[in-house]
Structure 1
Amino acid sequence: MTYLLLSVLSSTVIFVVFRLYKKYNVNTLQAIVVNYFIACTVGFFGYIEGSDLSHVPSEKWFPGALMLGALFISVFNLAAITTQKSGLSVVAVATKMSVAIPVLFGIFLYNESLGFLKLTGIILALAAVYLTSIKTKDGISIKPKNLIYPLLVFLGSGIIDTSIKYLETTYVSKTDVGLFSSTIFATAGLIGIIILTVQAIMGKLEFNFRNILGGIALGIPNYFSIYFLVMALRSEGFESSTIFTINHVAIVAVSTLLGIVLFKEELLRKNWIGLALAVLSIILVANSAI
């Protein structure tokens, strides 16, 4: 559970950093690209044994890491489009509700348990995610023509979590977790460089040093959010469906509470109900694993 807690805390720091981007007018795309290289560097110097990387392309997990890197930055761009067209709440719901995909994956592919407590906890978790993510009294509204964007964010986010579980179970050795994580971030960063280069050629790139600082601030917790999640998935006694459910709901709950404390956010009644359901769902899912 220690790794799971550290993953939740790392992901929550990401939330705080993103909130600060708006305050300090940080270009999110540029900071995201820098963040990927920072995350890669953190993994390389702190969590990779040996300096010979020539064997990386021959690793069985390498194609999957490339795919995940491409998905990372693709889902980010889709989330940005969704935010512009339908609002931040829609993105929050699509991203966090995607936990249903790896949970179902674990239950049906790995024959993980699904008792009454766990099933109830998962249902409450999904309700909690929805209620805590909606920041307006009227709920969310999506135009039919824009429905494809949150749907792709939902599928992309779910595929990322599912792929991480599959790769770490099937191909990634314990000593390769750092290298695996760094390869994902390096791939996403290189694709980001291509995007920024195209923007520069089109004359749409405006660079500012604070974007680098923003990327550094994001890259460190971003690396650990993935590293600790992979390590949590390797913990004995907890199934992946349990880990993913607790991880997603805890991030939502802690981020919401930090929003109140640090950014003076005001919660609606539905948000408070969502927080209560989040706590209850974590208790139920955790107890189902005992």
Structure 2
Amino acid sequence: MTPGLSYLLASVTCSVAVAAMLKLARRWQVDVRQAIMVNHAVAALLCWLLLRPDPATLLTPQTPWAVLLTLGLLLPSGFMAMALAVRHAGVVRSDAAQRLSLFIPLLAAFLLFGEPVSARKLGAIALAFAALFCLLRRPARTGEAPGPGNHAGTDVAPGRALWMWPLAVWVAYGLVDILFKQMARAGTAFAGGLLLAFALSSALMLAYLSWRRAAWAPRHLAAGVALGAVNFGNIITYIRAHQALPDHPALVFASMNMGVITLGTLVGALVFREPLSRLNGLGLALALAAILLMAPW
């Protein structure tokens, strides 16, 4: 296997592993808020150690602090939405919603930044919205919330939570993507912006938890270290995949997004026994088609 494909496989695995860890947090009695706070601190540290941002570029008059502060709020909020989504709607829908969020910045490019509209991109957006509709529909038979002895751990809930939290994931991650693009437009280096965003996210989450008088416990913090390592593993291996395959950005883009949806479906269905209807299956197929159509071939 070539280095580029190895990085892609590792990135896909890390992305789905994040969702699986959030899914297991309730069973392991982990306070997800504390884990998310430590996750961002670990990601900031690993960003500093591995991406080595230039300190001179971090604090300049051009630093877009409003964008960074908004990211500091949105990143942990998106993680919390993801935790609630995998708990109530399952890994399959949550991972698919996260990957479909890439169409929000595409819409923003048309509506806010004056990017030319093309039939291919409009078709991809239409497929993405159709996929989201199908994915968020309640399956014909929903599993009951698990009792202590339910080994499968299926936690798919009926009603509003089934679609509300994946929809929140879709919106939150889409807005995060727009804000990172705004940072790039402001001239902020990627590594430096990522470091500042993670550091601010951790600091704001720490302030929130202190205000809420959270009951700190080592297992919550240890879970956050593991979550942060896997989360940053997803980021760094995705970057390395692009670096290893510089002439094939479409391959990296499509393989990453389709790989996460495919592996997330397998993990959700086989490991967590999440119920899916035929309409949900159609939604997954439409999501894959939208990503293929969107890829910059």
TM-score, with structure 2 as normaliser:
0.71
Cα separation, partners in 2 of 1:190 and 1:41, compared to 1, 3 Å: same
Task: Name the structure 1 match of 2:282.
Answer: 273
> Does residue 1:19 correspond to 2:23, yes or no?
yes
| Contact 1:133-1:271 at 8 Å conserved across structures | yes
Of 108, 119, 123 in structure 1, the residue corresponding to residue 122 of structure 2 is 119
Closer/same/farther in 2, CA of residues 47 and 112 from structure 1, 3 Å limit: farther
C-alpha spacing 1:69/1:230, structure 2 compared with 1 (3 Å): farther
Q: Distance in 1 between matches of 2:84 and 2:9?
A: 31
Q: Among residues 132, 135, 142, which one is paired with 1:132 in the alignment? A: 135
Asked whether the 8 Å contact 2:23–2:83 carries over to 1, the reply is: no
The question of 1:32 aligning with 2:36 is answered yes
The answer as to whether partners of 1:35 and 1:219 remain within 8 angstroms in 2 is yes
Q: Counterpart in 1 of 2:72?
A: 69
Aligned partner (choices 161, 178, 184) of residue 162 of structure 1: 178
**What amino acid is aligned across from residue 68 of structure 1 in structure 2?**
L
Q: Deviation string for 1:205-259 (max 9, x for gaps)? A: 22222212211121123234455667889977869xx95x886665344312221
**C-alpha distance in 2, partners of 1:165/1:104?**
13
User: Identity of counterpart residues, as a percentage?
Assistant: 25
Q: Which moved further from structure 2: 222-231 or 183-192?
A: 222-231
Identify the residue that residue 179 of structure 1 maps to in structure 2: 192
1: CA distance, partners of 2:166 / 2:268? 23
- Work out the number of aligned pairs and report it: 269
2:98 is the alignment partner of 1:106: no
Sort the Cα spacing of 1:154 and 1:100 in 2 relative to 1 into closer, same or farther, 3 A.
Answer: same
Residue among 184, 193, 209 paired with 2:206: 193
Superposition RMSD in Å: 4.0
The CA deviation string for residues 176-230 of structure 1, in whole angstroms up to 9 with x for no partner, is: x322212111101001111111122xxxx22222212211121123234455667
- Residue 223 of structure 1 pairs with residue 232 of structure 2: yes
Could you tell me which amino acid in structure 1 is paired with residue 108 of structure 2? Answer: F
**Shift in alpha-carbon separation, 1:88–1:61, aligned structure 2, 3 A:** farther
CA 1:265/1:152 → structure 2, altered by over 3 Å: closer, same or farther?
closer
Alpha carbons of structure 1 residues 260 and 150: separation in structure 2 relative to 1, 3 Å? closer
Q: In terms of mean alpha carbon deviation, does 11-20 or 122-131 score higher? A: 122-131
Distance 2:14 2:168 in 1: 25
Contact 1:98-1:154 within 8 A present in 2 as well: yes
Q: Per-residue displacement from partner, 1:84-122 (whole Å, max 9, x unpaired)?
A: 9xx547x94876664432011234526256234x43333
1:262–1:61 Cα change, 3 Å = farther
Letter in 2 for 1:128: A
Alpha-carbon spacing, 1:209–1:225, altered in 2? closer, same or farther (3 Å)? same
Residue 277 of structure 1 aligns to which amino acid in structure 2? L
More helix by share: 1
Please list every run of 5 or more consecutive structure 2 residues that lacks an aligned counterpart in the other structure: 143-157
